[in-house]
Amino acid sequence: MPGSIHASDMDKAPAAAGPRLGTGWRWWTRRFLRNRVAPIGFVIIFASVGIAATAPAIVPHDVRVMTPADALSPPGGRYLFGTDEFGRDVFSRVLMGSRVSLVVAFLSVLTAVAMGTSVGLAAGYYGGWWDSVSMRVMDIVFAFPAILLAIAIMAVLGTSLFNLVVAIGIVYTPQFARVARAAALSVRSLEFIDAARALGMGNARIVGRHVIPNVMAPMIVQISLSLSLAILSESALSFLGLGTRPPTPSWGNMLSDGRQLLELAPWNAVFPGLAIMIVVLGFNLLGDGLRDLLDPRLR
Amino acid sequence: MQRYLATRLLALIPVLLGILAVVFLLIRLIPGDAVQLFLGTQVEMTPEQMAELRRFFGVDKPIWAQFVDYLGRILRGDFGVSLRTSRPVLPDIMARLPLSFQLAMFALAIALAIAVPLGILSAVTRNSTFDVLTRIGGLLGLSMPNFWLGAMLILVFSRYLHVSLGQYVPLSQNPLGTLESLYLPAISLGVAIAAILMRYIRSSLLEVLGQDFVRTARGKGLRASVVMLRHALPNAMIPVITVVGFQMGYLLGGTVVIEEIFALPGMGRLVLQAIFQRDYPVVQGVVLTIALLFVVTNLVVDLLYAWIDPRIRYG
């Protein structure tokens, strides 16, 4: 059935028809734009990634240059968001800080997707002992509060960008394993899988050609929502001093410094937090919108 | 119900073993062995003395035997000894546990107090300006870091409203004082949960309101308030209970960050201090305690769910 249907017929198809990917870009773009929240989220994310990518070229001040004479200047004038206790420009640091936050978020979610999806697909598709063992392990990871587990991992591994990615990646792995497993289970017993096997396709090919495309819809939603959580986790860890180290500005360690200046120069704490909020909001809007688009059951 | 309780308790055993294994193995990830960690880098020792100490600590045994030792100690309530203060870890954790637990529960109470009325009103007035504004507010609440919200509350309350933020007062001393010292931290922690719960309450209520029995209730001429309070709401609130269970982890884990920003002497501050002093038995102990607390609260929520909804315990 898939493939033989025209895009125009799909519009009229009942919602229960479920998620279908690859029915043509034009059709998807149209649906995406008609959604009320997804495009807003997409614009926010697109803009943030753009800022992060070009930050070194567009920042008005060097983030490392200290201008003691201008220390703790309030927002406005030469310094849009004011300055910190060393006279460094908060606006430039917020722009540069987006790099660490976004890189850590993307890499850690990528780690979680890679680990979670392979574990979950294998568990759901093959079943058997691997299913029970791997899912029990995932349950155990899930039995720890996410931020606590990340804190514990950072405590033993030590602070570095790589460890941060590993810690956050591990914490968000079980979600992906569960989503992938559920999706693999639901397609495993469908007739087209039997048909593929009857045609002589191997397991790897069946998973690649038939199972993975069916996992995509819930996966994309989960990725978007996990990115929002990963940004929040990174900021919390850096705030606690367990994330990236100064002088590399990240929103989390800017908040950690800014908190010491809360009475004296509140702008040091206000702006990095607003930046986190906007980006996280972007991922949440995108995730919510995509969920409505891809998975009508969950509305 | 007893059968359900028994199966749930049995299912807990592998999870508990798993948690203990993770907490036990966590420390093995650190380069260097337990004896070196204990001694630090200052002390010079001969290999013979080191071997002697390894035997003393039991770290010369194979890893599974060490794990069995560890299980035995935990069952006896021996969480080890702090490397810095040489005091047993468990009493120190127990002294700080009430604050963290009260903070998490207070945050949950605040979240429910915000989410229940707003979620219901939002569902009843679907797509009105109120509904849209509430949902936008919910998304914003979900998107801000809880510790940043805490900092902003401190800023507003101390700088602009001139409210002094008092020290923590134990519940046994003065319950009102406890509430007064914890309400700002609890709001910071609870807002994101309020946003999540609000969303679930709204969609759950909308789903129930669309069902046949509600139409029947309306059809037989019941007043709108009776339909809502007697028929729709109780049914809509049941699935929300499980969502509360999922959020216990966020609440318990979040106390670590919130205690730090509000300078509250709970388990969170204990573990952070221990991390920076490389006091690993304390880190292990706190992580284990919070994870166990999470498992137990989750179990309580699940039992509550089964008690309220017979479909679960007989399912």
Reply yes or no on whether the pLDDT at A48 is more than 80: yes
Alpha carbons A201 and A209: distance in angstroms, whole number: 10
Identify which of B95, B104, B271, B88 has the alpha carbon closest to the alpha carbon of residue B170. Answer: B95
> Residue written as tokens 């997804």?
A38
Mean pLDDT of chain B: 87
Reply yes or no on whether the pLDDT at A245 is more than 90: no
String of DSSP letters for A169-185: HHHTHHHHHHHHHHHHH
Q: Which of A45, A139, A147 to mutate to test the interface with B (most CBs of B within 10 A)?
A: A147
Reply yes or no on whether the pLDDT at A14 is more than 60: no
Reply yes or no on whether the pLDDT at A223 is more than 50: yes
Alpha carbons B168 and B262: distance in angstroms, whole number: 10
Return the amino acid letter for A226: S
Report which DSSP code applies to B223: -
pLDDT digits (tens, 9 = 90+) for B25-82: 888 777 666 666 666 666 667 777 777 777 776 677 788 888 898 899 999 988 888 8
Question: Which region holds residue B269: left if phi is over 0, alpha if psi is between -120 and 50, else beta?
Answer: alpha
pLDDT digits (tens, 9 = 90+) for B118-135: 999 999 898 899 999 999
Question: Which region holds residue B86: left if phi is over 0, alpha if psi is between -120 and 50, else beta?
Answer: left
- pLDDT band for A7, please (50, 70, 90 cuts): very low
Q: How far is CA B62 from the centre of its chain?
A: 34
Low pLDDT (below 50) residues in chain B:
none
Q: Do A144 and B287 touch (CB under 8 A)?
A: yes
The answer to whether A260 and A76 are in contact (CB under 8 A) is: no
What was the pLDDT predicted at B42?
61
Phi and psi at B88, nearest 5°, equal -60, 145
The answer to whether A165 and A111 are in contact (CB under 8 A) is: yes
Report which DSSP code applies to A69: G
The answer to whether A155 and B283 are in contact (CB under 8 A) is: yes
For residue A75, the surrounding DSSP H or E stretch is: none
Q: Alpha carbon of B120 to those of B205, B208, B228: distances in Å?
A: 7, 12, 10
The answer to whether A131 and A180 are in contact (CB under 8 A) is: no
Q: Do B252 and A156 touch (CB under 8 A)?
A: no
Is B261 in CB contact (< 8 Å) with chain A? Answer: yes
What was the pLDDT predicted at A235?
93
Q: Do A147 and B290 touch (CB under 8 A)?
A: no
User: Torsion over CA of B226, B231, B234 and B239, rounded to 10 degrees?
Assistant: -140
Q: What is the CA radius of gyration of chain A?
A: 23
Q: Do B15 and A139 touch (CB under 8 A)?
A: yes
> Residue written as tokens 């030792």?
B69
Reply yes or no on whether the pLDDT at A296 is more than 70: no
Report which DSSP code applies to A76: B
Distance from CA of A257 to the nearest CA of B (A): 12
Distance from CA of B221 to the nearest CA of A (A): 30
